[in-house]
Structure 1
Amino acid sequence: MLALLLAFAVVHSGGASLRAWGVERIGERAWRLLFAAVSIPSAVLVIGYFLAHRYDGIRLWNLQEAPWIVPLVWTGTAISFLFLYPATYNLLEIPAVLKPQVRLYATGIIRISRHPQAVGQILWCATHLLWIGSSFMLVACFGLIAHHLFAVWNGDRRLANRFGAAFEELKASTSVIPFKAVLDGRQQLVLGEFLRPAQLGIVIAVALFWWAHRYIGVGATAFSRSSLGHWLS
């Protein structure tokens, strides 16, 4: 699991770091398509392996019969998706329908945390580790959180190199730790900025994930029985 996560981190964060170099040579759209063509299959591989092995190892605890665990896990997971959704780019830029661009954002969820995807990943790991309680899950969460903490540093570094003083101004008025900039007066929440169609999309996505969870076991079994699953195991 750690080897797969490391490989994904190299592909994903490495590709992000090479963006300026790649764009200069093949253009924004071609680089985005190349980046997606490498990152998406590697992410599917990691997710498939995780689903097939999530209960492997030692069962450290089992709280699944506790009456409070399901609402806690689903509430925490739903909140994590509010942070994990693509807050910093236009969805149509992923397949390069629109020309991909790097922008500075200081509105919406960025007022809460400058790196919402890292916050969402940590919260997702906390809820799922609490639910599954396996040593495998503990290792997977360690790898996921380590990658996202690296991405916090790497993302700030890349934006500082690209935008200079403009990013330093944004950095001074925001925080990585959720709500820290709000609590110390550097930032003020504007509720209207959160009333966006993307938020409705998140609610729909959470509902779909709730419905699809019944099929996770079937998908995990199919992956483990596939030639790729056998090879990885």
Structure 2
Amino acid sequence: MFGWLVGFAIAHSGLASLRMMAEQRIGARFYRVIFALVSLGIAVPMMIYFFNHRYDGLQLWNVQGIPGVSEAVWIGSAISFLFLYPATFNLLEIAAIQKPQVHLYESGIIRISRHPQMVGQILWCITHTVWIGTSFMVVTSIGLILHHLFGVWNGDRRLALRYGEAFEAVKARTSIVPFGAIFSGKQKLDLKEFLRPAYLGVTAFTLLFWWLHPIVIRASGNVPW
């Protein structure tokens, strides 16, 4: 599993690092298509492997029978998705129908953390590690968290190269640690900023995945690896 994660990290972060140069040579839309195909080409089989082996290794603890744990894991996982997928503000850009662009956001969930995907991934890892409790899940979580911590550094580096002083100003007004900028008075939450189709879409996706979760696990079990 750690090998899957290392391979995905190299492909995903490597292509992200090449974005500026690649867009100049092949265009933003073609780059997005290549990025998506490579990322999904690794992510989908990796997720199938994860589903099929999540209980491998040592069973370090088992809290699944404790009242309230299941509900807490689902709530924590739902919140993690709201952080994990904030980039879907414009689905037409994600699908390369409109020209994909790099945006310098400083609103909505970015007020909570400048790197919401990192926050969401750590929360997802915590909830699933608590629930599954195996050494395999611990290794998976360590790999995912390390990749996203690297993504924090790499993401800031790429934005600094692209935007220069404009990004440095945003960086000074935001925080990596959740709510850090809010508690320090640099940011103030505006709940109206969360009333947008992107957040409603992520909420709908979370509910849909909750319904599909057992179906996806059964389907993955039919894949012989």
TM-score (norm 1): 0.94
Q: Distance in 2 between matches of 1:41 and 1:16?
A: 16
- 1:215 positional shift: 1.9
SS at match of 1:58: coil
Aligned residue number for residue 139 of structure 1: 139
Superposed, 1:145-160 pairs within 5 Å as 145-160=145-160
SS at match of 1:62: coil
Contact 2:90 2:198 in 1 (8 A): no
Q: Distance in 1 between matches of 2:191 and 2:86?
A: 19
Q: Distance in 2 between matches of 1:23 and 1:163?
A: 16
Aligned AA (2:194): F
- 1:205 positional shift: 1.5
Contact 1:88 1:103 in 2 (8 A): no
Is 1:81 the counterpart of 2:81 in the alignment?
yes
Q: Distance in 1 between matches of 2:153 and 2:135?
A: 28
Q: Distance in 2 between matches of 1:147 and 1:47?
A: 16
Q: Distance in 2 between matches of 1:88 and 1:199?
A: 8
1:205-227 CA-partner distances (Å, limit 9, x unpaired)? 2221221122243123112x2xx
Contact 2:88 2:198 in 1 (8 A): no
Aligned residue number for residue 34 of structure 1: 34
Aligned residue number for residue 8 of structure 1: 8
Aligned residue number for residue 199 of structure 1: 199
Contact 2:78 2:206 in 1 (8 A): yes
Q: Distance in 2 between matches of 1:99 and 1:211?
A: 33
Contact 2:174 2:186 in 1 (8 A): yes
- 1:88 positional shift: 6.6
Superposed, 1:83-232 pairs within 5 Å as 83-87=83-87, 90-223=90-223, 225=224, 229=225
Name the count of aligned residue pairs.
225
Contact 1:2 1:139 in 2 (8 A): yes
Instruction: Please identify, of 149-158 and 92-101, the stretch whose mean Cα deviation from structure 2 is larger.
Output: 92-101
Q: Distance in 1 between matches of 2:155 and 2:212?
A: 32
RMSD, aligned α-carbons: 1.1
- 1:27 positional shift: 0.9
Instruction: Please identify, of 51-60 and 92-101, the stretch whose mean Cα deviation from structure 2 is larger.
Output: 92-101
Q: Distance in 1 between matches of 2:75 and 2:113?
A: 19
TM-score (norm 2): 0.97
Q: Distance in 1 between matches of 2:86 and 2:17?
A: 18
Q: Distance in 2 between matches of 1:88 and 1:169?
A: 24
Q: Residues 191 and 89 (structure 1 numbering): CA distance in 2 closer, same or farther, change over 3 Å?
A: closer
SS at match of 1:139: helix
Aligned AA (2:14): G
SS at match of 2:98: coil
Q: Distance in 2 between matches of 1:222 and 1:86?
A: 32
Instruction: Please identify, of 96-105 and 191-200, the stretch whose mean Cα deviation from structure 2 is larger.
Output: 191-200
Unmatched 5+ residue regions in structure 2?
none
Q: Distance in 2 between matches of 1:11 and 1:143?
A: 15
1:18-62 CA-partner distances (Å, limit 9, x unpaired)? 011111111111111111111111111211111110000000001
1:61-87 CA-partner distances (Å, limit 9, x unpaired)? 010001110110011011101101133
